[in-house]
Chains A and B, each alone.
Chain A
Amino acid sequence: MSEQIKYDDFISALQGQKVPGMDPKWRLILRMARNVFIKQKNEQNALIQERKKAFKIRMQKSLEKNFLIPKKKKSFDYKSWFLILIIGSSGAFATKEFVHFTKPLPLELTFTQEELEGQDPKLFWKKWFNNGTFVMFGHKTITKPVPTNLTECKELDDCLVILEKNPHNPNLLFNIGLKYESGENKNINKALEFYKRSMALGNFYAQYNYDNLITKKTK
């Protein structure tokens, strides 16, 4: 057997191939050697993979300075917005600041058709019936808001006078609640009562202020 063939056999046996005609004892030794080589390689591989990660970061920095276009930072990407939202909401939660409205609302109301119908039952008949005859699709003109011609009130007494004639105006009730909440005529219980009445008529501003007052009261 020439040296070259023996050499080829040697490598083939190390590669795990079958080598016909090879000395069985050498074959056994080389199989064992192959296992050790693989074990050594795996150990080195583990080290390489560990080093490679850190090296990649180092190389990236080094190349960015000289050869690569640095990655642009997106200032307002969705992640930033999400972060702002989280911080904002957690801040609001931490301080427990309830929404509180302090400005009076205009007394001249504008209603949608459904709201008008809900407040004044006569409007229902006016819409669907014409002199006692049913109208299939209803009168369209009813959708226009009905002006109430209310004058604004600055003082509590003026508001209470207007309230006698307009007991179902939610904005007026809210404004009175607002005047009871702070100022010369401060009366929290009265304020709560008026907010509650305003809430019952669908005023969501009153609902926020009512919640705010209740929270303050329980603290």
Chain B
Amino acid sequence: MIAIELLEQLRDDAKREVAWENLLDKYYDHFFRFLASNKISVDEIDDIIHDTLFSVFSKLDTLEDDSKFESWMWRILRNNMNAYFNESNKKKDIMFAVDSKDLENLGDEVPLNVKFEQEYDDESHCVEEKLKIFQKDAPDRHFVITQQMDGVSIKEIAVMIGREYPATKEYISQSKKKLEAYLKECYEMSES
């Protein structure tokens, strides 16, 4: 079901009962992954998604452009997430929680080689361990790469993270470089 059909259902009182379930089925997984990639605990994730869906219902009349329903919903989610960070005084160390202007000014912070002086049994073990560290260190970048792997387009990712298309493309490119740096050790391991 596409977003515009969902929107029509939400506006129809008779179909609202079905609409919210469809909404949940379509977006809960994405919302959950996105919030998890911002290092938010599972209980707090549910609170944020709850507030977001509640706002979608209560503020549906304020939506001006129907074609931007999806991006509007993601914006509500990000706003709720930022509100959560502000209220809980948690450090905004995640890229998605950084203001747009700050993101544009970020330099290339990709490490050239990420080594932890750890010994691995083989390449497979190395890759598994490195990806665990990567997910822990940069869950936001892990998120965008996973999305790309699943075939989500850059445009759709831009809607999720609330950036312009070129900024998103650059961000994904940097994420790939960062992942590559993590895997470099495993690559060198297979060379020797």
Contact A28 B32 (CB under 8 A): no
CB distance from B145 to the nearest CB of A (A): 7
**Could you say which residues of chain B place their CB within 8 Å of the CB of A69?**
13, 17
Which residues in chain B, 136-192, are within 8 Å of chain A measured between CB atoms? 145-146, 148-149, 151, 173, 176, 179-180, 183, 186-187, 190-191
Interface residues, chain B, with chain A CB atoms under 8 Å away: 13, 16-17, 20-21, 24, 28-29, 32-33, 36, 42, 45-46, 49-50, 53-54, 57-58, 123-124, 127-128, 131, 135, 145-146, 148-149, 151, 173, 176, 179-180, 183, 186-187, 190-191
Q: Which residue of B lies closest to A32 (CB)?
A: B127
Known: A14-B145, A40-B135, A69-B17. A32 touches B191 (CB 8 A): no
Flag whether A87 is at the interface (Cβ < 8 A).
Answer: no
Complex Cα distance A207/B17, Å? Answer: 57
A-B contact count (CB 8 A): 97
Q: Which residue of B lies closest to A24 (CB)?
A: B190
Contact A14 B149 (CB under 8 A): yes
Contact B17 A11 (CB under 8 A): no
Complex Cα distance A3/B180, Å? Answer: 12
CB distance from B157 to the nearest CB of A (A): 12
CB distance from A216 to the nearest CB of B (A): 58
Choice from A11, A51, A68 contacting B149 with Cβ under 8 Å: A11
Contact A56 B176 (CB under 8 A): no
CB distance from B8 to the nearest CB of A (A): 16
Choice from B28, B29, B36, B173 contacting A7 with Cβ under 8 Å: B173
Contact A51 B135 (CB under 8 A): no
CB distance from A196 to the nearest CB of B (A): 64
Contact A10 B29 (CB under 8 A): no
**Could you say which residues of chain A place their CB within 8 Å of the CB of B33?**
44, 48
Knowing that A10-B180, A28-B123, A51-B32 touch, tell me 20 more A-B residue pairs with CB under 8 angstroms.
A11-B149, A11-B176, A15-B151, A28-B190, A29-B190, A32-B128, A33-B183, A37-B145, A37-B149, A45-B29, A47-B42, A48-B28, A54-B46, A55-B46, A55-B49, A62-B54, A63-B20, A63-B53, A68-B17, A68-B20
- Which 8 residue pairs of A and B lie closest in terms of their CB atoms, listed nearest first? A32-B127, A36-B131, A67-B57, A14-B149, A36-B128, A25-B190, A48-B32, A11-B148
Known: A33-B183, A51-B42, A62-B50. A15 touches B149 (CB 8 A): yes
CB distance from B64 to the nearest CB of A (A): 21
Complex Cα distance A63/B45, Å? Answer: 18
**Could you say which residues of chain B place their CB within 8 Å of the CB of A58?**
46, 50
**Could you say which residues of chain B place their CB within 8 Å of the CB of A10?**
176, 180
**Could you say which residues of chain A place their CB within 8 Å of the CB of B58?**
66-67
Complex Cα distance A7/B45, Å? Answer: 32
Interface residues, chain A, with chain B CB atoms under 8 Å away: 3-4, 7, 10-11, 14-15, 25-26, 28-30, 32-34, 36-37, 40-41, 44-45, 47-48, 51-52, 54-56, 58-59, 62-63, 66-69
Q: Which residue of A lies closest to B190 (CB)?
A: A25
Q: Which residue of B lies closest to A40 (CB)?
A: B135
CB distance from A94 to the nearest CB of B (A): 42
**Could you say which residues of chain A place their CB within 8 Å of the CB of B149?**
11, 14-15, 34, 37
Contact A32 B49 (CB under 8 A): no
Contact B176 A55 (CB under 8 A): no
Complex Cα distance A15/B146, Å? Answer: 9
Contact A41 B190 (CB under 8 A): no
Q: List 7 A-B contacts (CB under 8 A).
A: A11-B145, A11-B176, A26-B187, A32-B127, A44-B36, A48-B32, A66-B54
